[in-house]
Each structure stands twice: as structure tokens, then as C-alpha cells.
Amino acid sequence: MLMKSLADSDPQIAAAIDDELARQRQTIELIASENFTSPAVLEAVGTVLTNKYAEGYPSRRYYGGCEKVDVVENLARQRACELFGCKFANVQPHCGANANLAAYAALVEPGDTILGMSLDQGGHLTHGSPVNFSGKLYNFVPYGLNLETETIDYDELERMATIAHGVGARLMIDMAHIAGLVATGAHPSPFPHADVVTSTSHKTLRGPRGGFILTNDEELARAIDKAVFPGTQGGPLMHVIAGKAVAFGEALQPSFAEYIDNVVANAAALGEGLVQGGLRLVSGGTDNHLCLVDLTPADVTGKDAEHLLDAAGLTVNKNSIPGEPRSPFVTSGIRVGSAAGTTRGFTADEFREIGGLIARVVFNADDEGVLAAVRARVDELLEAHPLYPGL
Ligand SMILES: *Cc1c(COP(=O)(O)O)cnc(C)c1O
């Protein structure tokens, strides 16, 4: 077999990958759902495990030659259970959306009713959007926020959920964003309350792009395994499962708890900088890794802010705010998170400054001089914290 490097065999793709590495290095990544995996996770994902068909589960495969990948999947499952303090883990879902698809398939029948967070107040597409399988297959009933406190209206939720409990409802928690915080105890665990927990592995948990499902109930565990394969997926991505195992192993180390403590402290500092700069945080602050920012004081839309900040080297996403008057393509807010920047090494003081830089940009949308000054300062901050120096 010809062993040519990617740059030799496919210079177009190699160049695009190099360009993406450069882009990641040259911007302050504030998208709350993103992170930078360790080089060890990158290495595991880029291996020959991508070649292996392993439909089924360890020791119960539909293909020969699975002894080695069984070791990998068993370690991933054991580490996930240890990390989240539960009995059963399915690490095969290709992404968070697939984890939810399979979890619903294990818990309910098409047409059944699911109580879920309202999409315009924080719910995910897979929590009942009409353009998603969830909204087409199931009868989603939304719960929402108290628009004064901008936090979940627990009185209303209790009223609705009490009725659901009376008809034998079960509780599923989608912890996709906060999984890293749950892993270290920085956020309360969904167990023992939840019957089923779904998650991604690539947000605060800092693993490869993927999903997983957890439970303590043996019968549900069997239903979940069937719902993932053969219910909704084919062969598992064994190279990604290896990356998940590495990430779970990293998250079990004391250094990961330190990382998550910094993520939480840095999000608070980022929020302080934004507020000192004249912006408003939805719900008055943050308890986790992200802030939802109301741009109304700066009289700029989320869409325009996203573009302005991009030009200044600050990557964010526009986001609806509670009671949003604008369309989801325009919005009145942005969402910013500290998970990726903390991995890169930014300190709380630097995050506070970044909050101030964001405010300067959105309050001075027409001032080229301010934008250039912010870009220059962003470049200094980036240079002080090199990303993937070994690559
Ligand atoms: C990100 C996310 C998902 C979907 O994850 P993908 O890997 O993008 O499919 C599902 N639920 C929640 C709450 C999320 O934040």
C-alpha cells in the first residue's frame, strides 16, 4: 500500500485542515458548545479503529475480529459509569441528537406525550422542534421560563409534571452542555433522580464529537442498547469511542476538576466584564460555563454582533433571549462560554477583559478605530496562550 501523507495525496483537503487549525489559533473561541480536545483524544480518533465494523456490543458482535475494539468499548463504558456514578452506559451514539433519538425510542412510542423545555426558551431542536424527528414523532408539551426571573418557572413545571407523574412518566435529562460540570460535581448530578441521562462528549466534557446514554435501570439499559443498535444506528464509530474512552479517563483525573472550577470562575468573570461594559446578562448572571447576553442596551442585533465580533477575532453565536421580539436568524442576544478559552489557558482576569472587549465592540459598531484596537488586543491575548503548540 502506498503510504502517502495527506498533504501529498489530497492537498486541497490538507490545506483546508491547516486553514482550520490556523483559524482556531487566531480567534478567541467563545462558542459555549465548543472546546479543544487533548492531543491524546485527537490521536485516538485518527487511528485504524475507523476501519473496523463492530455492529452489536462487546462479546455480542455481528462481525469477527472484534476482540481489540471490545477492549476499547468496555473501557469507555466502565469509565463513563465511574465518572457519572451510574451502572450502565451506551457509548455508541454518533452525536447528541442520536443519543436523544435512541433514548426516546427506548422510553416512549410514537405519538406519546413528552414534557420538554420550550425551544424558544432554551430547549434543543431534539426537544420537539417541528423540523426535527422529535417534533414529528412525539407529542411535545413545552414548559418555559418565568419571564420576570428568566429562570425555569418551577411552580408551573411542578403542576405539569405532577400530572405526568400520575400517569407513570419517566425522567430523562439531556446534560449535553453541562456534562463536564456534572462529571466533577460542579453541577448537581441528574442521578439518582433521572431514569435516563443523555449527553454529548464534546462540549464541557472536552472529548471527541459524539454522544452517550446512561441509566441505573437494567431493563432500561437493555431497551437503550436495542434502540441504539439496531434501532437507530448501524456500525459504531470505534475510533470515536476510543476518543471518548480517553476523554472519560482524562475527566477522572484531579486536573479535570481543576479545569472545570476554572471554567465556572471564568464564565463568572466574563459575565462581570460584560456587565461592567454596559450589557445585561439574562437571569442576572451565570452558575455554569456560559452567559446569555442581552444586547438591547447596545441597540445592535445578535446577527450584527456576531459579525462584528468575528471581525475582531472573537467567535460567538447569536442567540434568542427570553421574550425575544426578533426572528431566530436575527435575535437580540449572543451566547458566550468559557470552556474552550479555559482549555487554552485564559485566566479569570483575561476573561473579565474579554467581556469588556465584547462590550466595546457592540457599543462602537461604527467606529473602525475601536474595532482595530480590540483586534490588536485580541491578538496579544492569543499569542500569550498558544493553541496546540505541538501540531
Ligand atoms: C448540543 C446538544 C445536543 C445535540 O448534540 P449534537 O452532537 O450536535 O447532535 C442535544 N441536546 C442538547 C441540550 C445540546 O446542547
Is 191 inside a domain boundary?
yes
Sequence-distant (6+) residues with CB within 8 A of 210 are: 91, 93, 94, 95, 200, 201, 202, 237, 240, 241, 243, 244
Give the DSSP H or E segment for 114.
strand 113-117
Cell of 59: 462479546
Ligand 1 centroid distance, CA of 137 (Å)? 18
CATH of the domain at 315: 3.90.1150.10
Confidence class for position 122, pLDDT limits 50, 70, 90: confident
Which tens digit of pLDDT belongs to each residue from 294-323? 999 999 999 999 999 999 999 999 999 999
Of all atoms in ligand 1, which is nearest to the CA of residue 96? 5
- The one catalytic residue in 55, 120, 261, 304 is 55
Do residues 198 and 275 both lie within one domain? Answer: no
On whether both 316 and 367 belong to a single domain, the answer is yes
Provide the residue range defining the domain that includes 204: 42-108+170-252
| Mutation choice for ligand 1 from 92, 101, 126, CB with most ligand atoms inside 8 A | 126
Same domain, 188 and 91: yes
Q: Is the CB of residue 95 below 6 angstroms from any atom belonging to ligand 1?
A: yes
Domain stops at, among 207, 237, 252: 252
Determine whether 112 is an active site residue. Answer: no
Give the pLDDT of residue 129. Answer: 95
228-241 pLDDT, tens digit per residue, is 999 999 999 999 99
Number of domains, the chain: 2
Q: Are residues 375 and 293 in the same domain?
A: yes
212 and 227 both lie in a single domain: yes
How sure is the predictor about 168, in pLDDT bands with cuts at 50, 70 and 90? confident
Same domain, 242 and 285: no
Burial environment of residue 349 by CB neighbours within 10 A (0 to 12, 13 to 18, 19 or more): exposed
Whether 218 and 290 share a structural domain: no
Does residue 16 lie within any of the structural domains? Answer: no
Q: Give me the pLDDT at residue 319, please.
A: 96
Q: Is there a single domain that holds both residue 194 and residue 314?
A: no
Specify whether 223 is located in the same domain as 371.
Answer: no
Which of 252, 275, 293 is where one domain is finished? 252
In the prediction, which pLDDT does 160 show? Answer: 87
Say whether both 281 and 320 belong to one domain.
Answer: yes
Does 228 lie in the same domain as 354? no
Protein residue closest via CA to atom 5 of ligand 1? 96
Cell of 21: 487549525
Gap between the Cα atoms of 192 and 133, Å rounded: 28
Q: Is 174 a catalytic residue?
A: yes
337 is in an annotated binding site: no
Kindly tell me the burial class for residue 252, based on how many C-beta atoms sit within 10 Å of its own C-beta (0-12, 13-18, 19 or more): middle
Kindly give the distance from the C-alpha atom of residue 202 to the centroid of ligand 1, in angstroms, as a whole number: 10
Q: Is 124 in the pocket of ligand 1 (CB under 6 A)?
A: yes
| Final residue of a structural domain among 230, 252, 274 | 252
Per-residue pLDDT band at 13 (split at 50, 70, 90): very high
Task: Judge whether 118 lies within some domain.
Answer: no
Task: Give the type of residue at 33.
Answer: S
Question: Strand runs (DSSP E) across 226-352, as ranges?
Answer: 280-281, 290-294, 314-315, 317-319, 333-337
Does some domain include residue 64?
yes
Answer whether residue 344 is part of any domain: yes
329 in a labelled binding site: yes
Q: What is the CATH number of the domain that holds 240?
A: 3.40.640.10
Q: Ligand 1 in contact with 33 (CB < 6 A)?
A: yes
Residue 195, SS3?
coil
| 222 included as an active-site residue | no
| Atom from ligand 1 closest to the CA of residue 175 | 13
Q: Mark whether 323 and 369 lie in a shared domain.
A: yes
Asked if the structure places residue 305 within a domain, the reply is yes
365 CA from centroid of ligand 1 (Å): 32
Q: Please tell me the predicted confidence (pLDDT) of residue 163.
A: 77
The per-residue pLDDT for range 196-228, each reduced to its tens digit, is 999 999 999 999 999 999 999 999 999 999 999
HSE of 221, CA atoms in CB hemisphere, 13 A = 14
Amino acid residing at 389: P
Ligand 1 centroid from CA 104, angstroms:
14
pTM (2 d.p.): 0.97
* Helices first, then strands: H and E counts in the chain: 15, 16
Within a domain: residue 1?
no
Residue 36 counted as domain residue: no
Note the pLDDT tens digit of each residue in 329-350: 999 999 999 999 999 999 999 9
- Active-site annotation holds for 153: no
Cα of 174 from ligand 1 centre, angstroms? 8
Q: What is the pLDDT of residue 2?
A: 63
